[in-house]
Amino acid sequence: MSAPVPVFASASPAPPTSPSPTNPSISDQARGVGSWFSDHSGAIVTDVVSIVSIIIVALIIRKVTLGFIRRAVDKAAMRAETKPGRFLEAGLLMGAERRLQRTRALGGVLSSVASAAIMIIAALMIIDQLHISTGPVLVSVGVISAALGFGARDVVTDLLAGIFMIMEDQYGVGDYIDAGDAKGTVEDVGLRITQLRDIDGVVWYVRNGTIKRIGNQSQGYARAIVDVPVSYSENPGRVRDVMVETAHQMYEDPEWKDSFLTEAPTVAGIESIEGDHMMMRVTVRTAARRSAEVARELRVRLLMAFDEAGVKVGNAAAAGTPGS
């Protein structure tokens, strides 16, 4: 028997080894960065110069715009203060305070709006220089603005009403106004809140957006109406002469001269006939907020004049209705 021949497995050739990647050296990275800057340096310098120019121009435009707004508001406030019938009772101090307040409020609103508009335009131009799409930014701003406007609609309403109220000069500090739920002297006027103090000393804070109508007793003039009941037995012509003379004496009185306007008092004559008396009426055009005290003084003088002239007054008490 022949001996078994050993069978040797042929060894498979080893796969070729690939060279391991080598990390770039710091010098290679530096050369890459330098190459990128050399290729883009012109664009970078141009963008930086454009951005700096946009910022400088925006600041210059903002400064010029704010100065123009300040001068325009000052002139508008001074024109409002020189209108006929303004501050017949108040002095220069109140006029200066009111002008300062209106100027500050209007200037603040217009300056804020102008500054925001200029800065937003400048920001969009800068974003465009950075090659960033402004579409998503504008969409995000629109969504946020809509959410804020819906959530704070009452505040927006108050601010808008305050802006128009101040621009139209409907009332100011020192005016006596009737705002519906509250009436009194205005102590402070803001864009959102108007502060009043009534005759009892109570301070009312009224939101401008809730004011539907305003009655201002401090603008222009007022009218005092005094009704005096006179007995039927009296001669209406004689009574009228006594009333005219008494009213003109008060009109010419230096102590009360400032309470009247240029129009002399008028006696309307018999206003009505009631029960056992006839009602005689005298009307006086007075300075703003002086009608009540003028009516009281005129009532006293008429009663004294009737006593001296022997005119019989009716059973009803003399009545007075101060106008607005």
**Is the residue at 8 inside a domain?**
no
- Give a yes or no: residue 34 inside a domain: no
Same domain, 199 and 233: no
CATH number at residue 212: 2.30.30.60
Position 274 in a domain: yes
Same-domain status, 270 and 211: no
- The answer to whether residue 17 is domain-embedded is no
Q: Which of 40-54, 144-158, 186-200 has the highest mean pLDDT?
A: 186-200
User: Do the domain assignments include residue 188?
Assistant: yes
Q: What are phi and psi of 70, to 5 degrees?
A: -60, -45
Residue 110 is assigned to a structural domain of this protein? yes
Range of the domain at 139: 54-151
Between the two ends of the chain, the Cα-to-Cα distance in Å is: 147
For residue 48, tell me if it sits in a domain. no
Could you give the number of structural domains in the chain?
3
Same domain assignment for residues 235 and 212: no
Q: Which amino acid is at 282?
A: V
Q: CA quadruple 234, 238, 243, 245: dihedral positive or negative?
A: negative
CA dihedral 249→255→256→262, nearest 10 degrees, is 80
Cβ contacts of 44 within 8 Å, gap of 6 or more = 37
> Does position 20 have pLDDT exceeding 80, yes or no?
no
Residue 236 pLDDT more than 60? yes
CB-based contact 254:292 (threshold 8 Å): no
67-83 confidence digits (pLDDT tens): 888 888 777 666 655 55
- Which is more confident, 211 or 139? 211
Q: For residues 225 and 208, state if they share a domain.
A: no
Q: Which of 152-166, 203-217, 260-274 has the lowest mean pLDDT?
A: 260-274
Instruction: Please report the pLDDT score of residue 203 as a whole number.
Output: 92
Rounded percentage of the chain residues whose pLDDT exceeds 70: 73
On whether residue 43 sits in a domain, the answer given is no
> What percent of the chain is modeled with pLDDT above 90?
6
- 141 or 303, which is more confident: 303
Shared domain for 60 and 96, answered yes or no, is: yes
Residues 240 and 280 in one domain: yes
61 alpha-carbon distance from chain centroid: 25
**Residue 182 confidence class, pLDDT cut points 50, 70, 90:** confident
CA triple 43-46-52, angle to 5 deg: 140
Indicate whether 21 pLDDT > 80.
no
Q: CATH number for the domain including 241? A: 3.30.70.100
On whether both 243 and 305 belong to a single domain, the answer is yes
In sequence order, what are the residues at sequence separation of 6 or more whose Cβ sits closer than 8 angstroms to the Cβ of residue 177?
A: 171, 183, 184, 186, 196, 214, 215, 216, 217, 218
Instruction: Give the per-residue pLDDT at 25.
Output: 67
**Is a pLDDT exceeding 80 seen at residue 221?**
no
Residue 122 pLDDT more than 70? Answer: yes
Task: Calculate the average pLDDT of the chain.
Answer: 76
Q: Is 283 found in the same domain as 210?
A: no
| Confidence band, pLDDT 50/70/90 cuts, at residue 59 | very high
